Amino acid sequence: MTHRDRMGTGPCGAVLAAAWWGVASLLPPFLRLNLRRRLTRGRETSDSVPQRRGIASRASRPPGPLIWLHAASVGESVALLPVISQLLAISPTHTILVTTGTVTGAGIMQARLPGLHGHERVIQQFAPLDVPRWVARFLDFWRPDVAALVESELWPNLIASCRSRHIPLALLNGRLSDRSLTRWGMARCLLARMLSAFSWVMARSPEDAQRLRLGGAARIDLVADLKEAAPALPYDPSALDEIHHHLAGRPVWVAASTHRGEEAGILAASHLVRHTVPDALTIIIPRHPERGTEIETLAGHPLPRRAEGQFPTDHDAVWICDTLGETGLFYALGAPVLMGNSLPGCAGGGHNPAEPAHAGCTIASGPQTGNFRQAYARMGTRVHYVRTAQDIAQWVIAHMGQRGSDNTVPTVASPSDPDIARQVAAAIAAMAGR
């Protein structure tokens, strides 16, 4: 790869970008079928399907300047909320368009945006798939003055289309793992072409900053983690009172943001815990709420599910809490929390330990935490690591009934959440004003 290719300006990146444009242009018939399939499985909605093809849900674009923010799913959406709040405060004449790539991410936005002052100026949509015609339809309708993408939402046609329309691009909480960088392989010049298009880059960690530079980013403007700095998750106090009433003082532990491949071990740990603590209750919160029935099937017998309005009886060992946007409610119980997407058998990568730490919960995790390596490093010995059902059961039994008051997020030499969000919002607003 030549120096120009590494900088994103060489022929290699241009050739690969053109090749992807050609391939993606042939995909619409297959993507339409896939969207219909996802709709039947609850992974798309009747609103999201046309929007994924770049078709807006409204007849016209609002007048005036418009800032576009895009987040992939739940974690990225939560991380964006403080930035949106700051933008609403410092850019009173701007409309903010927020897009997500998943139904769960959209649900978080629908639940949280009304709590922001000025939320009437926020429009929520689903992002278009990376088909040239669909991306063009989206951009030509909304005509954003600036576009900000979160973490690793790097789509060649989307970025190229913004660039050709002279729409400034910002990368927020930029993330690039060692594995991802290696996977780009011979296509590294395409990655460089995309990264070089960003006028402002925020890296999630110093390690990510280094890898983004190796990948072709021409600049790193800020190193900070919006997810790690996020405030405690909100919850409804009346709903918490209702849960306390139904639990009636039972010992509880929580398996949060679980993924396929690790719930079998969690169910086995629940069984082991009850050998020692017969009335113990395991609360399983799947990262994707639509998997509630799948987990119930895995258990082999009926389990109460919050999505069905059910509460556990004295005889139930497990409660599946398969609702959207209520994780903060269960962290507020102060029970021990096992962070999901981290145990052997699942895809791995972990989830943000700062969220239960803000609630004062004792925390455990599996070994696969690569997506939040710096956050876990900062937590240090405040996180206990487990691998097997036996490990989990021993940890739960040792900590059940103890609120982890010493487990709050440690003080570190980094900006507070408002400072980070304010810096990011100011940079985006400045780009919109160019």
Q: Can 76 be counted among the known catalytic residues? A: yes
Distance between CA 353 and CA 372 in Å, rounded?
Answer: 8
**Burial class of residue 163, CB neighbours in 10 A (0-12, 13-18, 19+):** middle
Q: What are the C-alpha distances in Å from 21 to residues 92, 153, 161, 168, 278?
A: 37, 17, 11, 21, 59
| Interior/surface letters 374-397, b for 16+ CB within 10 angstroms, e for the rest | ebbebbeebbbebeebebbbbbbb
Is 295 in a helix, a strand, or coil?
helix
Instruction: Report the relative pairing of strands 222-223 and 383-385 from DSSP bridges.
Output: unpaired
Given a contact cutoff of 8 angstroms between Cβ atoms, the answer to whether 70 and 97 are in contact is no
Of 44, 76, 151, 263, the active-site residue reads: 76
Distances, alpha carbon 104 to alpha carbons 107, 293, 420, in Å = 5, 16, 25
- Report which secondary-structure segment, H or E, holds 125: strand 122-126
The residue to which tokens 């006028």 are assigned: 199
Q: Which residues of 69-87 are buried (b: 16+ CB within 10 A; e: fewer)?
A: bbbbbbbbbbbbbbbbbbb
CB atoms under 10 Å from CB of 267, counted, come to 20
**One-letter amino acid for residue 307 of the chain:** A
**Catalytic residues, which ones?**
76
